[in-house]
Amino acid sequence: MENPVVPMSSLFTRRRLLGSSAIGMTAVGFAGCATGGGTGPDVGNSPTVPVTEGNPFGLAENTTVDAVGFNGGYGTDYIDFAGDQLTQKFPTVTVTVKPATDLAGELQPRFVGGTPPDVFDNSGAKAIGFNAILDRITELDDVMEAENYEGIPITDTLHEGAMVPGTYDGRFVAINYVMTVYGLWYSGSLFDEFGWQPPTTWDEAISLGEKAKSQGKYLFCWGKEAATYYQVMALESAIKQGGHEVRLALENLEEDCWSHPAIQAVFEALETIVSEGMVKPGGSGTLFTAAQAQWSNDQEAILYPSGAWIENEMKSQTKDGFEMRGAPTPIVDSSSVMPLEALHSSAATPFVVPRKAKNVAGAKELMRAMLSAEAATNFSRTRLVPTVVRDIVPEDGFGSTALQSQNSMLAAAGEQVFDLSFVDLYGMNGDMLTVWNSFLDGASDRSELTASLQGLTDAVRNDPNVKKLRVD
């Protein structure tokens, strides 16, 4: 059987992040459900009523909406908030939200048994690889075409390109809710105290690491489940240095893609940082939240690469007066194809609706509620990150220095914004975690890092059972 390859749109504007680097299920895990082109009718089983202006999906009375939310850095009560809005409009409808962390483990039996939830947030380290379920989830274009609860067409309220990351094989099947900014995060108060500046190049990062060591601190720290945050950081830097050819080679699983000079230059810098003792040892045996607390509360390390969820995730373990701020990932040198300000940012936290959901109409109505101004404002105010709904966050960032940084970084980047999707799409994160934990531990060098990552990439490319989506 030949490897099926289909095109996937790749408009890299302000939209999706690489999410939480999903480990995912492969197509094999769902017994071939990812073969074919996604044809066939949706088969939700709940009763519907005629569509009206106030009920665009025909949600029936006395029904239940079964939602599953990823219980990670954002929690799930923001879904409950939108559910409460829904029930104010439809008082006889009940919305239940179940938190989950192992999406693949918990939902695979429900898909196979024919009783999937009505809607779920496919996020986290154990999300389901999208290539495995494309033919089992329904299209959501009609949600975008509907009016929000303020009476405005949803498509008119979103950041540019917000629908792109949820489009696979020409089908819009995932509503990515959160607008995430990736970068290096640091304590503004600590940097002010020592007169430090965020590094703009890797030479500057190494120099900063030496200054941190003189104060008894490390440049970086890491936790075992988040080792691939350093891969994300490295690829951000390499893409800015080498341009979109670096990104496209990775997205399309090309031979020797990890050997690109821009990637190797970043790996060389990281190898120096590890070998010079600028990374706190023991991360491969440390839970990621404990490692993040070493940075945010104990200030043992001074920089942490992450998406902007980090502030909300660590708000109970952040030192008083920390003043969390973000900065763009460094470039290698001034010959970079993209400017320093170029940004890895995109819509993420993908919500999907299974074809065999019992209440497809209810699932779509919940999405309509979440994309309304009140729910989006609630999310940004309580999670301190923007959603795909624009013009929600005020200039003061609801008092958050991290959210102010996100606004500033997005403004400085302009249209120089990009994304990566191959790790999520093909469920590669689990194996990559092992590779990066070894490298950050100093147990492997950059040549071994490169060979291991290329081997994982080649294995996916050469697997005839994995459907490939081409990025142009």
Task: Based on the fold, state whether residues 217 and 172 are members of the same structural domain.
Answer: no
Task: Based on the fold, state whether residues 154 and 237 are members of the same structural domain.
Answer: no
Give the DSSP letter of residue 119: E
Task: Based on the fold, state whether residues 191 and 212 are members of the same structural domain.
Answer: yes
Residues 153-159: contacts with CB within 8 Å, 24+ apart? Answer: 154/368, 154/371, 157/371, 157/373, 157/389, 157/390, 157/391, 158/371, 158/388, 158/389, 158/390, 159/13, 159/14, 159/15, 159/347, 159/388, 159/389, 159/390
Tell me the per-residue pLDDT of 308-350, one tens digit each, with 9 for 90 and over: 989 988 999 999 999 999 999 999 999 999 999 999 998 889 9
- Would 393 be classed as within a structural domain? no
Q: SS3 for 280-326, per residue?
A: CCCHHHCCHHHHHHHHHCCCCECCEEEECCHHHHCHHHCCCCCCEEE
The total domain count for the chain is: 2
Query: What pLDDT does residue 46 have?
Result: 66
Residue of 112, 83, 111, 113 lying closest to 98 (CA atoms): 83
Task: Based on the fold, state whether residues 61 and 124 are members of the same structural domain.
Answer: yes
- Would 402 be classed as within a structural domain? no
Task: Based on the fold, state whether residues 256 and 151 are members of the same structural domain.
Answer: no
Backbone angles phi, psi at 34, to 5 degrees: -105, 30
Task: Based on the fold, state whether residues 131 and 268 are members of the same structural domain.
Answer: no
Residues 400-421 as b or e (16 or more Cβ within 10 Å = b):
bbbbbbbbbbbeebeebbbbbb
Burial of 381 (0-12, 13-18, 19+ CB in 10 A): middle
Q: How many angstroms separate the Cα of 51 from the Cα of each of 42, 357, 375, 420?
A: 17, 19, 23, 38
Task: Based on the fold, state whether residues 197 and 170 are members of the same structural domain.
Answer: no
- Which residues are CB-neighbours of 230 under 8 A, at least 6 positions away? 220, 222, 270, 305, 436, 440
Query: What pLDDT does residue 111 have?
Result: 87
- Would 287 be classed as within a structural domain? yes
Task: Based on the fold, state whether residues 77 and 110 are members of the same structural domain.
Answer: yes
136: part of which helix (H) or strand (E)? Answer: none
CA dist., res. 357 & res. 361, Å (int): 9
Query: What pLDDT does residue 414 have?
Result: 85
DSSP annotation string for 334-391 = TT-SS-TT-EEEEEEEEEE-BTT-TTHHHHHHHHHHHTSHHHHHHHHHHHSS-BSBSS
pLDDT along the chain (472 residues), means of 10: 35 27 36 37 66 95 97 93 98 98 91 92 86 90 96 92 84 93 97 98 98 98 97 98 98 98 98 98 96 98 95 93 97 98 92 96 98 96 91 90 91 89 88 97 98 98 90 84
CA dist., res. 444 & res. 438, Å (int): 6
- Cα torsion 181, 184, 189, 194 to 10°: value is -160
- Would 9 be classed as within a structural domain? no
- Which residues are CB-neighbours of 8 under 8 A, at least 6 positions away? 167, 168, 169, 421, 469, 470, 471, 472
Query: What pLDDT does residue 376 have?
Result: 97
- Would 129 be classed as within a structural domain? yes
Query: What pLDDT does residue 169 have?
Result: 80
25: part of which helix (H) or strand (E)? Answer: none
- Would 357 be classed as within a structural domain? yes
Q: SS3 for 184-238, per residue?
A: EEEEHHHHHHHCCCCCCEHHHHHHHHHHHHHCCCECECCCHHHCCHHHHHHHHHH
Task: Based on the fold, state whether residues 316 and 450 are members of the same structural domain.
Answer: yes
- Would 413 be classed as within a structural domain? no
Structure tokens at 60: 């029936």
Q: Which domain holds residue 326?
A: 181-344+423-471
Query: What pLDDT does residue 51 have?
Result: 94
- Would 387 be classed as within a structural domain? no
- Cα torsion 168, 139, 162, 248 to 10°: value is 0
Query: What pLDDT does residue 3 have?
Result: 37
Task: Based on the fold, state whether residues 337 and 198 are members of the same structural domain.
Answer: yes
| pTM (two decimals) | 0.78
Query: What pLDDT does residue 44 have?
Result: 54
Query: Which CATH number fits the domain that encloses residue 117?
Result: 3.40.190.10
Backbone angles phi, psi at 415, to 5 degrees: -90, 0
Half-sphere exposure of 146 (CA within 13 A, CB side): 25
Task: Based on the fold, state whether residues 128 and 235 are members of the same structural domain.
Answer: no
Task: Based on the fold, state whether residues 283 and 430 are members of the same structural domain.
Answer: yes
CA dist., res. 52 & res. 59, Å (int): 10
